Amino acid sequence: MTQALSWGQPASVVHARGLTKSYGGPAAVDGVDLEIWAGESVGILGPNGAGKTSLMRMLSCVSLPSAGSLRIFGLDAAKQSRDIRRRLGIVHQEDILDSELTVAENIYIYGRYFGMPRAVIRENSAELLEFAKLSDRADSRVETLSGGMKRRLSIARALVSKPEVLLLDEPTTGLDPQARHVLWDRLAMLKTRGVTLILTTHFMDEAEQLCDRILLMDRGSLRDEGAPQELVTRYASKDVVEIRASGAADVSALAELVGKIGNRMEQLPNRLLLHVDDGDLALRAVIDLGVDPRACLVRRGSLEDVFLRLSGRSLLG
């Protein structure tokens, strides 16, 4: 609470200590300590089964922690979950929609859940339908929507209550590129208005676009965190040379050949990644060794490389 009152310091939105969730077997979330500040946008990355959804559901005050303490907005999540949820917008990994109701009714009833007056919901709803590109489907039953349309509706529905914190579990899975960009723009806009974003994603470009801070999660624990660029510097290099190969044997042979170039090498099933400081220089060296230039590609080091490196080392995955 002291943080909320002192000048210059943003308020604590999430304060978790030893947060744990177990479904009977080994803990899905295992003693997570986490601090998220108002206005931040935080991405949680990790392989399938890492515990991202389990963590998100606890932060959403939907799922009850098995152990540990959790405060959201400075309120105790165990005792004041209702007051907390009033201020959250939640997009679950799997769409939760009322399939027998229409698109407009879905937004309407969700606003009602938050105690919003009918007139206010109707007022907001047109704009949300526009955002979700569902204006012309407002009176269609949800059953009749495509997968991506349902996803867009789920997101629009979470926004109806004008939440202070938005929790999005793989929000863009199933969206076409255009819809993805529309969502990114929207989220960026919300962020400028001070909305805190907490999201999980398997799209590294999305994490790089949207997040100030990335949490790397694996087997229920947070393994590292930092700004996207920090993580790239820490775990990858400025540039990456990618060499396509036709199979594992070919990759090994290539690795033998070019192994001395660059800081580090990553062997994938049919690609070889060279982490280097200067991509063009390294590319020339690779070609000089007799590698077909058409199989080579130079690009910037990215979160994807961080993720691949960490899962390759089995820190993740």
Partner 1 sequence: MTMPSILVACEHWLLQYRRTWRGTLTSSILAPLLYLATLGLGLGASFDLQVQAHTQRVDYVVFVAPGLLAGWALQTAAEVSAYPVATAMRMDRTYHGMASSPVGYRGAYAGHLAFIALRVAINCAIFLAVLGALGIVTSWWAVVALFVAVLTGMSCAAPILAFSAAITRDASLTTLTRLVVTPLFLFSGIFYPVSVFPTVLQWLISVTPLWNGAELCRQLMTGHADLRPALLHLLVLGCYLLLGTVAAERMFKRRLTL
Ligand X SMILES: Nc1ncnc2c1ncn2[C@@H]1O[C@H](COP(=O)(O)OP(=O)(O)OP(=O)(O)O)[C@@H](O)[C@H]1O
Residue closer to ligand X (CB basis): 49 or 259: 49
**Position 172 contacts Mg ion (CB under 5 A):** no
Q: Between residue 57 and residue 86, which ones bind partner 1 under the rule CB under 8 A?
A: 60, 62-64, 81-83, 85-86
**Signed CA dihedral, 92, 98, 103, 105: sign only:** negative
**Position 93 contacts Mg ion (CB under 5 A):** yes
Residue closer to partner 1 (CB basis): 58 or 222: 58
> How is residue 84 annotated by DSSP?
H
Task: Give least dist CB 207 to ligand X, A.
Answer: 13
Exposure string for 69-81, b = 16+ CB within 10 A, e = fewer: ebbbbebebeebb
**Position 52 contacts ligand X (CB under 6 A):** yes
With CA atoms as reference, report the closest residue to 155 among 138, 139, 175, 177: 175
**Position 54 contacts Mg ion (CB under 5 A):** no
Number of residues that bind Mg ion (CB under 5 A): 3
Name the E strands within the chain: 12-21, 29-37, 41-45, 67-72, 75-76, 88-91, 165-169, 196-200, 213-218, 221-226, 239-244, 264-268, 271-276, 296-300
Task: Give least dist CB 151 to partner 1, A.
Answer: 15
User: Six-digit token pair at 221?
Assistant: 């624990």
**Position 101 contacts partner 1 (CB under 8 A):** yes
With CA atoms as reference, report the closest residue to 28 among 225, 199, 215, 218: 218
Task: Give least dist CB 50 to Mg ion, A.
Answer: 8
Task: Give least dist CB 169 to ligand X, A.
Answer: 7
Interface positions with partner 1 (CB under 8 A): 23, 60, 62-64, 81-83, 85-86, 90, 92, 94, 96-101, 105, 108-110, 112-115
